[in-house]
Amino acid sequence: MKIATWNVNSLRIRLPHVLQFLKDEQCDVIGLQETKLDDDKFPEAEIRELGYSCLFSGHKGYNGVAILTRDGSAAVSDVSFGVPGYPDPQRRLAAATITAQSGASFRFVCGYFPNGQAPGAAKYLYKLEWFCALRSALEARLHTDSNLILVGDMNVAPTDADIWDPEGWKGHILVSDAERDAFNSLIALGLTDAFRKAPVTEGDWSWWDYRNNALLRDQGARIDHTLVSEALAGKIKSVKIRRFYRELPQPSDHAPVVLELSL
């Protein structure tokens, strides 16, 4: 089974890229972030034409998440939006139980984690609070769903190996100690960073700033992640960062990440 995550940074602008990705990659489940669309503007018809069903929750201009599932390969149930027990008007989280053709099922959680702006800022404190609320919700869910996959733009480069210039970035947003501690609190639940576990990987970074020719200089960070629960860790086949889509005209600043599992 192929599972992808992609911060598209406006689905309205990036729809041709997303449709191309769906045709080329034939993923079974895709989590999208930063759709930046009101629900009545979501391009459901165009996506359905390619054989995908859609779940989505969004706002015009910011945030927004969606889960796409390929018809015939992934059945969906128990859909929810938002972090359980954490009232928040920002539409950052979608979740569903996915059942594969094989009969195997897992809880799929797609999140657009807060950026945080800068260490010490109000948005930074919100980011840490949001991580904490999500951790509590996942901990509770893992008691009933041992098969769980968390994907999304987590806005954290977990180690110095995940940022192009660790010394230059030290103490900045995406790499601060508190953010990395928050990320590691999810790992402590028994989740595995699939990119670091996979026998086959492709790429280094999943995000390159639009500024300063960052893509041409390969000055990026790995902040888009696929985390799998302990019960699924042994089924990881590969994780590939599809840089090609970052190189297209009018791209998102993120590349899609594709996880393949033996399910």
Q: Which two tokens stand for residue 73?
A: 């390969």
How far apart, in whole angstroms, are the C-alpha atoms of residue 184 and residue 5? 20
Contact 35, 18 (CB under 8 A): no
Residue pointed to by tokens 């991580």: 131
Cα 2-153-79 angle, rounded to 5 deg: 65
- E-state strands within the chain: 2-7, 29-33, 52-59, 62-70, 74-81, 93-100, 105-112, 148-153, 192-193, 200-202, 207-208, 220-221, 224-228, 236-241, 257-261
Instruction: Report how many helices (DSSP H) and strands (DSSP E) the chain contains, helices first.
Output: 7, 15
How far apart, in whole angstroms, are the C-alpha atoms of residue 185 and residue 128? 11
Q: How many CA atoms lie within 13 A of 134 on its CB side?
A: 29
For 123, the enclosing helix (H) or strand (E) is helix 122-142
Catalytic residues: 112, 153
- Please provide residue 136's backbone torsions phi and psi, each rounded to the nearest 5 degrees: -60, -40
